[in-house]
Amino acid sequence: MIERSPVFDFVTYLAMALGALLVVIPFWITLVAGSQSLQEVSQVPISLLPSSHLFENLAAAWTRGDLGPKLINSFIVAIGVTVGKITLASLSAFAIVFFSFKARMLCFWLIFITLMLPLEVRIVPTYSIAANALLPFQVILDTLGITGLVQAVSGVQIALNWNLLNSYPGLILPLVATATGTFLYRQFFMTIPDELVEASKMDGASPLEFFWDVLLPLSRTNMLALATIMFVSSWNQYLWTLLVTTDRANFGTVVMQLKALIPAQNGTPDWNVTMAGALIIMLPPLLVVAFMQRWFVRGLISRDK
C-alpha cells in the first residue's frame, strides 16, 4: 500500500460508505415500504425503518400479480435460455476453434456479427418472424422450386408453419440466438494449448470425447460465468416477452407483472403491496449474482479481451 495516512484512509472509507449507501438505498426503500401498512407507506415524510406487515404485503402482491404461475414461467424461460445458450455456444465454439473446414471463417463471422445488434434494436422485424419461424425455409424451398416439384410428384403442398407467439420456444429461442456465449467459449478455447489436443489424439480419443472429457471439465468456471450472465439477462428480459406473449395469463413472466402492480392513477396508493411484489421479482437474479459473483465477474471481464 502506498500512502497510509489516517486522513486519506478515512476519506476512502467515507467515500466507499457513501457509495454503498447510494447502491443500497433503492433496495432498502423497497424492503421498508414493502413491510409497512397502507397508512405508514402514505406518510410524508415516510419512516425509514421496516414495519411488521411484510408477509401480508407479500401475500397481497402474490395474489394481485398472480406471481405463482408467472414465477414458474420466468424460471422456465431463464433456465431454458441458460441451458440452450451453454449447449449451443460450447458446441459451436468447439467447431470454430478445433476443426479445420472450408467455411470456418465464414461461420465465425456469420455468428459474431450478431453481437452488433441487440434484440431491442431489431424488435420489429424479429416480431414478424415469431408468427411463423419456418418462413425462411418455406421461401428457400419455394425459390429452389422444391415446393412445386413435390406438389407435382406427390400432390402434397408443403406449407411450413410454426407460430411462436404465446409459447415457450417463442420466449426462449430469440434470446438464445446471439453470439455472447459463443464468444466467451471461443476466447477460452483459444487458450487451450495445442499439446492437449495432440495428446488426446495420440490416446485415440475422438473429437467428441476430447470435448466431453477434456474441454468441458476445464471450462467449468467459464460455464458458471455464462450461466449467471444468461440467467440474469433472460430473467430481466422485458420488451421481447411483452411482445411475444399476448396471452399473459398463461405465458407471462414476473417482470411483465411489475406494471400491473403499480397503483392506478386514482386508485388506492398501496405502494406497500407494489414494493413487496418488486421484492419477490428482484430476489432470484440478485441471489444468483450474490452467490456466483466470483465466477461471473471473471466471465464478464474476459468478454472484453
Rounded-to-integer distance, Cα 278 and Cα 233, Å = 17
Task: Find the part of the chain contacting another protein (CB under 8 A) among 52-60, 106-114, 147-155, 215-223.
Answer: 106-114
Is residue 227 near another protein by the rule CB under 8 A?
no
Cell numbers for 262: 403499480
Rounded-to-integer distance, Cα 304 and Cα 187, Å = 10
Give residues with Cβ within 8 angstroms of 296, minimum separation 6: 224, 225, 228, 229, 289
Is residue 143 near another protein by the rule CB under 8 A?
no
- Interaction mask 178-217, another protein, x per CB under 8 A: xx--x-------x---xx-xx--x-----xx---------
Residue placing its CB nearer to another protein in the complex, 118 or 151: 118
Residue placing its CB nearer to another protein in the complex, 223 or 282: 282
Rounded-to-integer distance, Cα 173 and Cα 43, Å = 46
Among 72, 115, 131, 149, binds another protein (CB under 8 A): 115
Q: What part of residues 75-104 is at the interface with another protein (CB under 8 A)?
A: 88-89, 91-92, 94-101, 104
Residue placing its CB nearer to another protein in the complex, 59 or 239: 239
Where helices occur in 236-270 by DSSP H, the ranges are 239-244, 248-251, 254-261
Measured at the CA of 131, the angle between CA 130 and CA 134, to 5 degrees, comes to: 80
Among 44, 152, 156, 249, binds another protein (CB under 8 A): 44
Residues 259-271 as b/e (b if ≥16 CB within 10 A, e otherwise) read: eebeeeeeeeebb
Among 55, 168, 212, 238, binds another protein (CB under 8 A): 238
Q: Rounded to the nearest whole angstrom, what is the least distance from the CB of residue 154 to another protein in the complex?
A: 26
Is residue 111 near another protein by the rule CB under 8 A?
yes
Among 38, 58, 83, 262, binds another protein (CB under 8 A): 262
Among 39, 128, 143, 154, binds another protein (CB under 8 A): 128
Task: Find where cell 407479500 sits.
Answer: 58
CA gyration radius, the chain: 25
Q: Which of 242, 80, 95 is nearest to 175 (CA)?
A: 80
Is residue 282 near another protein by the rule CB under 8 A?
yes
Among 271, 273, 276, 295, binds another protein (CB under 8 A): 271
